[in-house]
Chain A
């Protein structure tokens, strides 16, 4: 085991608080860390990759770009299309934040892809849960529980994920539609077994990405109609990694709303509808936290994506019972509350 892992475990055993980050490309999410963070970036490297087993295991600090390059050589990919907000985003960071790209509606989320992990809990114990096989129901699913927990349930050190083949062909059809028309099309398309791998509406255009076999994709494109987008890779990267101009935050803050996909579009002026309507992006005035209430009333939740936010976690307040349970779960893994203080759950009242 590396010196870094031994040091982290030793510090936790001595009940010293500790904060970890990957490359800090998603530092604007969640609350400010109380303790000066250490980077996991040096704990990097592919541990195991066997294309025909559809599994990759890497240390948490491994760069996603390195993983993507390696997988592409064998014609494979991470199915959840992890968003990267910087060159150096790590696998550990992707899992800790739990974010997924446009392909999520087709091949599942980061949480769906994880198969196993190693973590250092709050007692400084280095533990292993899950494994490197597709199906595994031995013990509670602590791997999935840790996805999106921002490291607060334990320091992620090694992660195994399911990988999938790159599609033989991809093609994107686009349509000039209002948001209301786009949403009804998303619903209509979703009820058909087309090989759709992303559906996004932005700037009065609906984009439908088809992924699959050559003839299958072409036949589906013909059935859907619309125009074929020329530079589709660039477009989908801009949606996935937030480089599209609609994500820009000049005077206003960017918010993510995760909603039941059929939620009407007239509730607020959404700027981007992704995930076939289930993930929506909107801007709001700085320090306006009213979206929490709105999102909850619509059966979903909101997350603030602004780096200017100085207070709180920018995350949807939990319902009282869920909050109580969450604090007990945190205590089960980190009984002294040492790891990543301030980052995730609001302090227990």
Chain B
């Protein structure tokens, strides 16, 4: 479809100054947080009302134009990467907190509301919204729902899917449907669960009701240094085996600690091979008891240094280091590539050892931050994107890490989503029948396939090209497909 015709059609339903199409207007939207993939959309629209969103969907459906939704654009898997032939639907103007109910402990919000803004708005009621992705200052709740975002506290408090009560969606056909309710469950199939984490392929989030929790009376964090990554990993298993579910349990390896300490000066141990941050929260008495146990376990596990943050300021400083890990690594390398695999924790030392070998083989540095409690790894591959050969090596290194995660019984993405980035690795994790099942489910919501096409679930053709189709019992699936 010609751009001018599409622009004219879109401007028929909304103010034309919110329909952007010149290249200087669309350039700022050419990528999300995954900057190695870029594409200019044909048109960017900034709707302000539900009617405008439905109008955009109607125009696009009638003309077979792809629609990609975008929240704050902080996603790390290219889920909001524009489609070169399509419309980028920017939900940023839906930024109001519509209602807060302190008694029911819920907040009803528009999708463009920032994650942290919810907690800030309900803070005076003694409440907060638990999922806290590192990008929480900037990322929006609509994007969190699309990606089922996690954060450093999800071992104890869950992911987005555990903290959202209902979502109002615009479907591809322009109808508006609410899944979930203000009750804890709803009749029929759990359409809410399948909507969360669907990466903008099933519908556009127009509104959400999220759960709020009472702020813990106290939070304390312990920092521990280890001269050996395996010892640090084992200590995590011991903490859990003793019946403690810490609010946060994070690990960083030597290179990550060095990068962060240079940037934030959080007092991290520069001589350590691995460092743990373990936070316990709850009532004063609970925290005091659990803290003693955690300190004992860490000591018994061979910690070479142990420090409990002495006050709230120091607690925040300890966390600031961890939450700044990505920008800190950004300072020591022209570019970095953040991976997001999850593994059964028992395989941590094997996986770290194999990654060190890969690092040598690809001649690229790698720093590791790790949500140790739930097995979610974030290896940061350091490279220079101006060197195309180095970029190719970084991508290959990343892909090999993800395949290793699947090999040890884990997954290619813990919390960042598949997007465009991990689309090939989906062929490694799922069989062709499973991928086909995903496509069938997508068609139930979006029969013409206009929402975020080409993301999250690869076509079987793509897997055949990629050449790493998951093979069951040695049988090549779909032998009729051409292979390249």
Which A residues are within 8 Å of any B CB, using their own CB? 50-55, 75, 98, 104-105, 108-109, 111-112, 121, 125, 127-129, 131-142, 144-145, 147-149, 153, 164-168, 187, 190-195, 212-216, 218-220, 258-262, 275, 278-279, 299-301, 303, 315-318, 321-323, 325-326, 328-333, 335, 345
Contact = CB atoms under 8 A, between A and B. Distances in A.
Interface string B279-316: 00011111011100000000000000000000000000
B283 A136 contact: no
A279 B188 contact: no
28 contacts: A52-B237, A53-B346, A53-B375, A105-B184, A131-B409, A133-B409, A133-B414, A137-B415, A138-B411, A138-B430, A139-B456, A140-B202, A140-B457, A142-B438, A142-B441, A144-B194, A191-B103, A191-B125, A192-B214, A216-B282, A258-B186, A259-B183, A261-B183, A299-B182, A315-B187, A322-B188, A323-B188, A332-B441
Contact of A213 (B147, B183, B214, B285): B285
B376 A134 contact: yes
Contacts of B344: 50, 53, 55, 132-133
Nearest to A150: B189
Interface stretch (B34-42, B80-88, B158-166): B158-166
B416 A137 contact: yes
B240 A136 contact: no
Query: Which 10 pairs from chain A and chain B are nearest by CB?
Result: A216-B286, A144-B193, A165-B243, A134-B374, A135-B414, A328-B444, A316-B187, A260-B182, A52-B237, A332-B440
Interface residues of B, number: 96
A332 B440 CA distance: 5
B342 A326 contact: no
Contacts of A259: 183
B321 to A, nearest CB: 22
A299 to B, nearest CB: 5
B188 A137 contact: no
Contact of B346 (A52, A108, A109, A167): A52
Nearest to B157: A108
Given A137-B418, A138-B411, A212-B286, A279 B184 contact: yes
Contacts of A216: 282-283, 285-286, 289
Contacts of B411: 131, 133, 135-138
Interface stretch (B148-156, B220-228, B357-365): B148-156
Interface string B431-472: 101100110111111000000000011000000000000000
Contacts of A132: 344, 409
B184 A135 contact: no
Given A164-B245, A193-B217, A260-B182, A134 B445 contact: no
A127 B431 contact: yes
A145 B148 contact: no
A149 B147 CA distance: 24
A335 B440 CA distance: 10
Given A195-B282, A329-B444, A333-B440, A141 B243 contact: no
Contacts of B429: 138-139
B410 A131 contact: yes
Contacts of B150: 135
Nearest to A152: B189
B127 interface: yes
Contacts of B148: 137, 141
Contacts of B191: 145, 322, 325-326, 329
Contacts of A323: 188
Given A131-B410, A191-B127, A193-B216, A329 B441 contact: yes
B154 to A, nearest CB: 7
B232 to A, nearest CB: 14
Given A165-B243, A325-B191, A136 B342 contact: yes
Contact of B184 (A75, A109, A131, A329): A109
A140 B194 contact: yes
Contacts of B289: 213-216
A141 B194 CA distance: 5
Nearest to B239: A52
